Amino acid sequence: MLKVARAAMFAVLPVELLLVILLVSGVPLPAPVIAVAEAAVAAVLLLEATAAYRLYRAERRTGSGRGEAARATVRRLVPEQVRRIMAFDAKGMVSLVLWAARRRDGVPPGAVAVSYSREQSTMLTFILFLMVVETVALEVLLRAWGVPDGLRLVVLVVDVYSILVGLAIGAACVTRPHVVSPRELRVRYGAFFDLRIPRELISSVRQSRNYNESGMVGVKDGRLSVAVSSQTNVVVELEEPITIVRPLGGRAEVTVVRFFADTPGAVLSALRPAQHHDA
Protein backbone atom coordinates (compact mmCIF):
# COMPACT_ATOMS: atom_id res chain seq x y z
CA MET A 1 0.00 0.00 0.00
CA LEU A 2 2.90 2.36 0.74
CA LYS A 3 4.23 2.13 -2.83
CA VAL A 4 0.74 2.54 -4.28
CA ALA A 5 0.09 5.63 -2.13
CA ARG A 6 3.34 7.27 -3.22
CA ALA A 7 2.72 6.52 -6.90
CA ALA A 8 -0.84 7.83 -6.75
CA MET A 9 0.24 11.02 -5.04
CA PHE A 10 2.90 11.82 -7.64
CA ALA A 11 0.52 10.96 -10.50
CA VAL A 12 -2.52 12.95 -9.37
CA LEU A 13 -1.11 16.09 -7.73
CA PRO A 14 0.50 17.54 -10.91
CA VAL A 15 -2.81 17.05 -12.77
CA GLU A 16 -4.70 18.77 -9.95
CA LEU A 17 -2.23 21.67 -10.02
CA LEU A 18 -2.72 22.05 -13.77
CA LEU A 19 -6.51 22.10 -13.36
CA VAL A 20 -6.26 24.75 -10.63
CA ILE A 21 -4.10 26.95 -12.87
CA LEU A 22 -6.57 26.58 -15.74
CA LEU A 23 -9.53 27.41 -13.51
CA VAL A 24 -7.82 30.43 -11.99
CA SER A 25 -6.89 31.57 -15.51
CA GLY A 26 -10.54 31.59 -16.50
CA VAL A 27 -10.32 28.65 -18.92
CA PRO A 28 -13.73 26.92 -19.11
CA LEU A 29 -13.56 23.23 -18.28
CA PRO A 30 -16.33 20.64 -18.73
CA ALA A 31 -18.05 19.77 -15.46
CA PRO A 32 -17.34 16.02 -15.86
CA VAL A 33 -13.59 16.74 -16.10
CA ILE A 34 -13.66 18.72 -12.88
CA ALA A 35 -15.76 16.06 -11.14
CA VAL A 36 -13.42 13.24 -12.18
CA ALA A 37 -10.36 15.23 -11.10
CA GLU A 38 -11.84 16.02 -7.69
CA ALA A 39 -12.90 12.40 -7.21
CA ALA A 40 -9.36 11.25 -8.06
CA VAL A 41 -7.86 13.70 -5.57
CA ALA A 42 -10.31 12.58 -2.88
CA ALA A 43 -9.43 8.95 -3.54
CA VAL A 44 -5.70 9.68 -3.31
CA LEU A 45 -6.16 11.62 -0.06
CA LEU A 46 -8.15 8.71 1.37
CA LEU A 47 -5.45 6.26 0.29
CA GLU A 48 -2.73 8.46 1.82
CA ALA A 49 -4.68 8.79 5.08
CA THR A 50 -5.23 5.02 5.26
CA ALA A 51 -1.55 4.28 4.63
CA ALA A 52 -0.49 6.90 7.17
CA TYR A 53 -2.87 5.49 9.80
CA ARG A 54 -1.58 1.94 9.31
CA LEU A 55 2.04 3.06 9.53
CA TYR A 56 1.29 5.12 12.63
CA ARG A 57 -0.50 2.25 14.36
CA ALA A 58 2.38 -0.11 13.51
CA GLU A 59 4.86 2.31 15.08
CA ARG A 60 2.70 2.71 18.18
CA ARG A 61 2.50 -1.06 18.61
CA THR A 62 6.30 -1.19 18.78
CA GLY A 63 6.19 1.13 21.80
CA SER A 64 6.97 4.45 20.11
CA GLY A 65 5.49 7.62 21.55
CA ARG A 66 3.01 9.70 19.58
CA GLY A 67 5.55 12.22 18.34
CA GLU A 68 8.11 9.58 17.44
CA ALA A 69 5.47 7.48 15.67
CA ALA A 70 4.26 10.49 13.69
CA ARG A 71 7.80 11.35 12.57
CA ALA A 72 8.47 7.74 11.59
CA THR A 73 5.24 7.71 9.58
CA VAL A 74 6.25 10.80 7.65
CA ARG A 75 9.71 9.33 7.00
CA ARG A 76 8.21 6.16 5.55
CA LEU A 77 5.36 7.77 3.63
CA VAL A 78 7.20 10.74 2.10
CA PRO A 79 10.31 9.97 -0.03
CA GLU A 80 13.58 11.26 1.41
CA GLN A 81 14.22 13.48 -1.61
CA VAL A 82 10.88 15.23 -1.12
CA ARG A 83 11.51 15.67 2.61
CA ARG A 84 14.92 17.15 1.90
CA ILE A 85 13.57 19.62 -0.65
CA MET A 86 10.94 20.73 1.85
CA ALA A 87 13.68 21.09 4.47
CA PHE A 88 15.70 23.26 2.07
CA ASP A 89 12.76 25.63 1.74
CA ALA A 90 12.16 25.73 5.50
CA LYS A 91 15.83 26.36 6.31
CA GLY A 92 15.99 29.00 3.59
CA MET A 93 13.07 30.92 5.10
CA VAL A 94 14.67 30.67 8.56
CA SER A 95 17.91 31.94 7.06
CA LEU A 96 16.13 35.03 5.74
CA VAL A 97 14.98 35.79 9.29
CA LEU A 98 18.49 35.20 10.66
CA TRP A 99 19.97 37.39 7.93
CA ALA A 100 17.55 40.23 8.72
CA ALA A 101 18.42 39.88 12.43
CA ARG A 102 22.17 39.73 11.63
CA ARG A 103 22.53 36.36 13.34
CA ARG A 104 24.21 33.12 12.32
CA ASP A 105 23.19 29.50 12.67
CA GLY A 106 25.30 26.86 14.41
CA VAL A 107 28.20 29.02 15.62
CA PRO A 108 28.73 28.23 19.33
CA PRO A 109 30.73 30.47 21.66
CA GLY A 110 34.46 30.10 21.13
CA ALA A 111 34.09 28.67 17.61
CA VAL A 112 35.60 30.22 14.50
CA ALA A 113 33.10 31.03 11.74
CA VAL A 114 34.54 31.12 8.23
CA SER A 115 32.43 32.60 5.43
CA TYR A 116 32.32 31.36 1.85
CA SER A 117 29.62 33.62 0.36
CA ARG A 118 31.77 36.55 -0.76
CA GLU A 119 32.95 34.90 -3.98
CA GLN A 120 29.41 34.33 -5.25
CA SER A 121 27.65 37.40 -3.83
CA THR A 122 28.18 39.57 -6.93
CA MET A 123 26.87 36.93 -9.32
CA LEU A 124 23.91 36.11 -7.08
CA THR A 125 23.00 39.80 -6.79
CA PHE A 126 23.14 40.14 -10.58
CA ILE A 127 20.93 37.08 -11.05
CA LEU A 128 18.37 38.39 -8.56
CA PHE A 129 18.36 41.76 -10.34
CA LEU A 130 17.64 40.02 -13.66
CA MET A 131 14.86 38.01 -12.03
CA VAL A 132 13.20 41.19 -10.74
CA VAL A 133 13.49 42.84 -14.17
CA GLU A 134 12.05 39.72 -15.81
CA THR A 135 9.11 39.66 -13.38
CA VAL A 136 8.22 43.30 -14.05
CA ALA A 137 8.67 42.99 -17.82
CA LEU A 138 6.57 39.81 -18.01
CA GLU A 139 3.77 41.40 -16.01
CA VAL A 140 3.74 44.39 -18.39
CA LEU A 141 3.67 42.10 -21.44
CA LEU A 142 0.89 39.91 -20.06
CA ARG A 143 -1.21 43.01 -19.35
CA ALA A 144 -0.56 44.31 -22.87
CA TRP A 145 -1.59 40.97 -24.38
CA GLY A 146 -4.82 40.93 -22.40
CA VAL A 147 -4.01 37.74 -20.50
CA PRO A 148 -6.70 36.89 -17.90
CA ASP A 149 -6.06 38.20 -14.38
CA GLY A 150 -6.06 34.71 -12.90
CA LEU A 151 -3.23 33.48 -15.12
CA ARG A 152 -1.25 36.69 -14.56
CA LEU A 153 -1.60 36.17 -10.80
CA VAL A 154 -0.31 32.59 -11.05
CA VAL A 155 2.71 33.71 -13.10
CA LEU A 156 3.38 36.59 -10.71
CA VAL A 157 3.24 34.31 -7.66
CA VAL A 158 5.67 31.87 -9.28
CA ASP A 159 8.07 34.68 -10.21
CA VAL A 160 7.96 36.29 -6.78
CA TYR A 161 8.48 32.92 -5.12
CA SER A 162 11.50 32.32 -7.37
CA ILE A 163 12.98 35.63 -6.25
CA LEU A 164 12.30 34.71 -2.62
CA VAL A 165 14.08 31.37 -3.13
CA GLY A 166 17.08 33.18 -4.62
CA LEU A 167 17.21 35.50 -1.63
CA ALA A 168 16.90 32.51 0.72
CA ILE A 169 19.84 30.75 -0.96
CA GLY A 170 22.02 33.82 -0.51
CA ALA A 171 20.87 34.32 3.08
CA ALA A 172 21.54 30.65 3.92
CA CYS A 173 25.11 30.90 2.63
CA VAL A 174 25.70 34.04 4.73
CA THR A 175 24.09 32.79 7.94
CA ARG A 176 25.40 29.20 7.78
CA PRO A 177 29.20 29.55 7.49
CA HIS A 178 31.86 26.88 7.92
CA VAL A 179 32.60 26.43 11.62
CA VAL A 180 35.77 25.32 13.42
CA SER A 181 35.08 24.44 17.05
CA PRO A 182 37.19 22.63 19.66
CA ARG A 183 35.38 19.39 18.76
CA GLU A 184 34.84 19.49 15.00
CA LEU A 185 35.14 21.07 11.59
CA ARG A 186 31.76 21.80 10.09
CA VAL A 187 31.73 22.21 6.30
CA ARG A 188 28.52 23.66 4.91
CA TYR A 189 26.88 25.09 1.83
CA GLY A 190 23.80 27.06 2.76
CA ALA A 191 20.80 24.88 3.53
CA PHE A 192 21.91 22.19 1.07
CA PHE A 193 24.91 20.54 2.71
CA ASP A 194 26.24 20.07 6.23
CA LEU A 195 29.18 17.83 7.14
CA ARG A 196 30.59 17.48 10.65
CA ILE A 197 34.16 16.17 10.85
CA PRO A 198 35.50 15.30 14.33
CA ARG A 199 38.88 16.96 14.79
CA GLU A 200 40.52 13.72 15.83
CA LEU A 201 39.87 12.34 12.33
CA ILE A 202 41.78 15.16 10.62
CA SER A 203 45.31 14.09 9.70
CA SER A 204 46.31 17.20 7.72
CA VAL A 205 44.95 20.45 6.36
CA ARG A 206 46.49 22.64 3.69
CA GLN A 207 45.64 25.44 1.32
CA SER A 208 45.37 24.42 -2.33
CA ARG A 209 43.31 26.33 -4.87
CA ASN A 210 41.37 24.52 -7.61
CA TYR A 211 39.32 26.40 -10.21
CA ASN A 212 37.86 23.40 -12.03
CA GLU A 213 35.41 21.84 -9.60
CA SER A 214 32.22 20.49 -11.17
CA GLY A 215 28.98 21.10 -9.32
CA MET A 216 28.27 22.38 -5.85
CA VAL A 217 28.82 19.08 -4.02
CA GLY A 218 30.70 16.31 -5.80
CA VAL A 219 32.36 13.03 -4.85
CA LYS A 220 34.96 11.24 -6.94
CA ASP A 221 37.42 8.53 -5.92
CA GLY A 222 36.83 9.14 -2.22
CA ARG A 223 37.32 12.91 -2.53
CA LEU A 224 34.54 15.31 -1.61
CA SER A 225 34.42 18.81 -3.08
CA VAL A 226 32.14 21.57 -1.75
CA ALA A 227 32.71 24.30 -4.31
CA VAL A 228 31.77 27.95 -4.67
CA SER A 229 31.88 29.30 -8.23
CA SER A 230 33.70 26.08 -9.27
CA GLN A 231 36.47 26.78 -6.72
CA THR A 232 37.92 25.12 -3.65
CA ASN A 233 40.95 26.33 -1.70
CA VAL A 234 41.20 24.18 1.45
CA VAL A 235 42.07 20.47 1.48
CA VAL A 236 41.45 18.32 4.56
CA GLU A 237 42.78 14.76 4.69
CA LEU A 238 41.23 12.26 7.11
CA GLU A 239 42.65 9.40 9.14
CA GLU A 240 39.78 7.13 8.09
CA PRO A 241 36.75 7.28 5.77
CA ILE A 242 33.75 9.31 6.83
CA THR A 243 30.22 8.99 5.46
CA ILE A 244 28.78 12.09 3.83
CA VAL A 245 25.16 12.74 2.84
CA ARG A 246 24.61 14.54 -0.45
CA PRO A 247 21.90 17.22 -0.77
CA LEU A 248 19.24 14.77 -2.00
CA GLY A 249 20.21 11.96 0.36
CA GLY A 250 22.84 9.96 -1.50
CA ARG A 251 25.59 8.51 0.72
CA ALA A 252 29.30 8.12 0.03
CA GLU A 253 32.50 7.52 1.97
CA VAL A 254 35.37 9.98 1.57
CA THR A 255 38.88 10.38 2.94
CA VAL A 256 39.62 13.83 1.47
CA VAL A 257 37.44 16.95 1.78
CA ARG A 258 38.01 19.98 -0.42
CA PHE A 259 36.01 23.15 0.17
CA PHE A 260 36.07 26.90 -0.42
CA ALA A 261 36.54 29.58 2.23
CA ASP A 262 36.77 33.35 1.80
CA THR A 263 39.73 33.31 4.21
CA PRO A 264 41.36 29.88 3.98
CA GLY A 265 44.11 30.99 6.34
CA ALA A 266 41.53 31.28 9.12
CA VAL A 267 40.64 27.59 8.70
CA LEU A 268 44.28 26.53 8.76
CA SER A 269 45.15 28.59 11.81
CA ALA A 270 42.06 27.36 13.68
CA LEU A 271 42.77 23.68 12.95
CA ARG A 272 46.54 23.43 13.19
CA PRO A 273 46.95 24.16 16.93
CA ALA A 274 45.00 20.99 17.75
CA GLN A 275 47.22 18.99 15.39
CA HIS A 276 50.36 20.27 17.14
CA HIS A 277 48.81 19.45 20.46
CA ASP A 278 47.98 15.88 19.37
CA ALA A 279 51.52 15.43 18.08
Helix (H, G, I), strand (E, B), or coil: what is residue 206?
strand
Pick from 141-150, 225-234, 266-275 the range whose average pLDDT is largest. 225-234
Average pLDDT over residues 149-174: 91
* Stretch among 17-21, 198-202, 244-248 having the lowest mean pLDDT: 17-21
pTM: 0.81
pLDDT tens sequence across 99-153: 999 999 999 999 999 999 998 999 999 999 999 999 999 999 989 998 888 888 8
Closest CA to 96 of 188, 168, 177: 168
| pLDDT tens figures, 41-80 | 777 778 778 888 888 899 889 999 989 988 888 888 888 8
